Structure 1
Amino acid sequence: MRILLIHQYFLEDDDGGGSRWNEISRFWQAEGHEITVIAGMVHYMGHRSAKYSGKHFLQETNRDGVQVIRCHVSESYNKSFLGRLWAYFSFTFSSIWGGLRYTKGNYDVIVVTSPPLFVGITAYVLSLLKRTPFVFEIRDLWPESAIDTGILTSGILIKFAYWFEKFMYKKARLINVLTPAFREKLITQKGVPSEKIIFIPNAADFSLSEELLTGFDVPAFRKEHALEGKFVVTYVGAHGVANHLVQVLDTAELLQDTNVLFLFIGDGMLKKELKEEAQRRQLSNVRFIDSVPKKEVFKYILASDAGTSVLKKVDTFKTIYSNKTFDYMSCQKPILMAIDGVSRQLVEEAQAGLYVEPENADDFAEKIRFYLQNPNLVKQHGLNGYLYAKANFDRKVLAKRYLDFLKQVEQPEKSV
């Protein structure tokens, strides 16, 4: 199959961050399919590679053999809400032009993954002009999540977003959701026919974790990075409004009498403020690490005692699986899950960690103290999560299942 993927935040080689689609496209390419990606020039955490300076388009082939067409994104991305909104639409315009100019020949299917919701405009336009069906993937419920976190406040934009969301659901051949809660919401509240919805969730990349589990020298890494004698709790991901990481600083403040050390790995628009706040509080048990490649992230996780998944306390986030949760599982680390809803259910069903009430530092600190007193349970929860993810959330297995669905929607003349 020839598959066109539209993903504003598709990672570069060795970029840190959510690598769901880098891994899926790698598997598909290895199976003999041809994948082309239309992507942006700004990482979802806000930084921009120097190699894009002065360029509006750049064609490249990544190390997996996937062709990537990088399209312009406004540098106003991190400046304000209006700046970010303009960055979204700047990618919409540039990606349509990039798709028309640089994608050659016919494609069997277009896959578009959101958020932001507005990438759907690109998918719809290219679908019409290339006469190719498209599949719409929902990684996060927009516009609800943007409204709940205060990112989207304009009444006009909110009305447009809801209208456009409904329009996209109608025009898409299939809709992929990443959690059962998304599926339930689309059917019961948004009127989407159940037969139009498929479920390919976030997953664990065992190809990387198992390579490291067999040969990585954890004691040497801990010594090199001054982690010896510490109970290390690692957070990996964006440092933004939705993550509300100040709750982790609050927890660190309550645990200064212990050997607990919090590692924050990643970047985002609030990272500078968080670092300044940690310094103001003189929190010696907090350490910030810039974004690192996925393999290096896994080394930090393997050298940790536990991982944590954290989001702001809003109802919309009860419907999501945090992708970093599966990284912790694949590395056999227990999870301190500060997200209610389906993420909590996942961890409790797998017996892979402890639920922490979001934005409740007292509860967070109490759960960590419980782990300090029960080291055997820490190891057991980590192993439980690994086995559960291996049985239910293996990226390679799910990538093949996704491909089977795409084969059902490819252009009729190519499926005969």
Structure 2
Amino acid sequence: MRILLIHQYFLEDNDGGGSRWNEMSRIWTEAGHEVVVLAGMVHYMGHRPEHYRGQYFYQYTNRDGIQVIRCHVSESYNKSFLGRLWAYFSFTFSSILGGIRHARGKYDIIVVTSPPLFVGITAVALSWWKRTPFLFEIRDLWPESAIDTGVLTNPWIIRFAYWFESFVYRKAKLINVLTPAFRQTLLTKKGVPAHKIIFIPNAADFTLSEEVMQQFDCCQFRREHGLEGKFVVTYVGAHGVANHLVQVLDTAELLHDTNALFLLIGDGMQKKELQLDAQRRGLTNVRFVDSVPKREVFKYILASDLGASVLKKVDTFKTVYSNKTFDYFSCKKPVLMAIDGASRELVEEAQAGTFVEPEIPEDFAEKVRFYMSNPELIVQQGQNGYRYARTYFDRDVLARKYLEYIKQI
């Protein structure tokens, strides 16, 4: 098959961040299919590579043999809400043009993954232009998540977003959801017929984790990075409004009398503010690490005692699976799950961690102290998570199942 993927935040080869579609595209390509990607020039954490400056389109083939067409995104992305909104629409316009001018030829299917929701405009336009059906993937309930976190407040934009969401759902041949809670919301609140909805969730990349584990020297890594004698709790992901990482700083402050060290790996709109806050408080047990490639992320996780999944306490986030949780599972690390709802149920079902009351640092600190006193539980729960993910959330297995759904279209 020939597949056109529309993904504003498709990663560069050595970028840190959510790599779901880089891995999915690699597996599909290895299975003999051709994948062409329309992607943006700005990473979802806000930075733009220097070689894209002054470019409107930039084409190349990545290390997995996938043709990537980078399309213009406004540099106002990190300046304000209106700047981010304009960045979304600038990609919409440039990706439509890029799809017409550069992603030429016939395609069997167009796959579009959101957020942002507005990539649906590109999908509808190119579906009509190329006379090709499209599959719409929901990685986050939008506009609900933007409303609940206070990012989206304008009533006119909210009204348009809900109308457009419904319009895209009607036009899509299939809709993929990443959690059972998403499916329930679409059925009961959005009026989407059941036959349109499929479920291919986030998953663990065992291909990479197994390779890293075979060659990894944990003691040496901990020595080189100043982690010896520390009880390391690692968070990997965005540092934005939705993540509310101030609760990690609050927890670190409560644990100043212990050897706990919190590693915050990634980037985002609030990172500088968090760094200043940690400096003001004199938190020597919090360390910020810039975004690193997935291979390096796994090394940090393997050198840690626990992984942390953290989001702001809002109802919409009760419907999500935190994608970093699967990285912790694949590296045999228990998860401190500071997200209620679907993510909590996932960890408790797997017996691979413990729930932390979101935005209650006292509970967070108590759970860390509990694991410090029970090292045998860390090993046991790490193994539990690994086995559970192997059984139900293996990326390779799910990518091939995804292909079977696409073939039906």
- TM-score normalized by the length of structure 2: 1.00
Matches of 2:336 and 2:181, distance apart in 1:
21
Matches of 1:75 and 1:185, distance apart in 2:
34
Q: Aligned partner of 1:91: which letter?
A: F
* Partner secondary structure for residue 136 of structure 1: strand
Match of 1:321 in 2: 321
Matches of 2:140 and 2:281, distance apart in 1:
33
Per-residue CA shift, 1:189-225, capped at 9, x if unaligned? 1110011000000000000111122220010000000
2:373 aligned with 1:373: yes
Match of 1:350 in 2: 350
2:241 aligned with 1:263: no
Matches of 2:305 and 2:56, distance apart in 1:
43
Matches of 2:322 and 2:238, distance apart in 1:
11
* Partner secondary structure for residue 60 of structure 2: strand
| RMSD of aligned Cα (Å) | 0.4
Match of 2:102 in 1: 102
* Partner secondary structure for residue 379 of structure 1: helix
Match of 1:310 in 2: 310
Per-residue CA shift, 1:368-395, capped at 9, x if unaligned? 0000110100111111000000000000
Matches of 1:161 and 1:59, distance apart in 2:
31
Q: Aligned partner of 2:248: which letter?
A: V
Q: Which runs of 5+ in 1 are unaligned?
A: 410-416
The 5-angstrom pairing of residues 16-415 of structure 1 reads 16-409=16-409
Q: Aligned partner of 1:150: which letter?
A: G
Matches of 1:330 and 1:218, distance apart in 2:
16
Structure 1 stretches of 4+ with a deviation exceeding 3 A read none
Per-residue CA shift, 1:89-146, capped at 9, x if unaligned? 0000000000000011100000000000000000000000100000000000000000
Per-residue CA shift, 1:147-183, capped at 9, x if unaligned? 0001111000000000000001100000000000000
Q: Which runs of 5+ in 2 are unaligned?
A: none
Matches of 1:85 and 1:346, distance apart in 2:
33
The percent of aligned pairs where both chains have the same amino acid is 76
Matches of 1:336 and 1:51, distance apart in 2:
39
* Partner secondary structure for residue 287 of structure 1: strand
Q: Aligned partner of 2:171: which letter?
A: K
Q: Aligned partner of 1:240: which letter?
A: G
Matches of 1:155 and 1:267, distance apart in 2:
30
* Partner secondary structure for residue 313 of structure 1: coil
* Partner secondary structure for residue 22 of structure 2: helix
Q: Aligned partner of 2:39: which letter?
A: A
Matches of 1:167 and 1:42, distance apart in 2:
27
Q: Aligned partner of 1:301: which letter?
A: I
Per-residue CA shift, 1:343-374, capped at 9, x if unaligned? 00000000000100000000000000000110
Shift of residue 15, structure 1, vs aligned partner: 0.3
Matches of 2:51 and 2:336, distance apart in 1:
38
Q: Aligned partner of 1:42: which letter?
A: V
Q: Aligned partner of 1:58: which letter?
A: Y
Match of 1:414 in 2: none
Matches of 2:60 and 2:151, distance apart in 1:
33
Q: Aligned partner of 1:132: which letter?
A: T
Alignment coverage as a number of residue pairs: 409
Matches of 2:381 and 2:240, distance apart in 1:
28
Matches of 2:119 and 2:43, distance apart in 1:
15
Matches of 2:181 and 2:81, distance apart in 1:
28
Matches of 1:169 and 1:38, distance apart in 2:
21
Matches of 1:309 and 1:291, distance apart in 2:
16
* Partner secondary structure for residue 275 of structure 2: helix
* Partner secondary structure for residue 94 of structure 1: helix
Matches of 1:314 and 1:358, distance apart in 2:
9
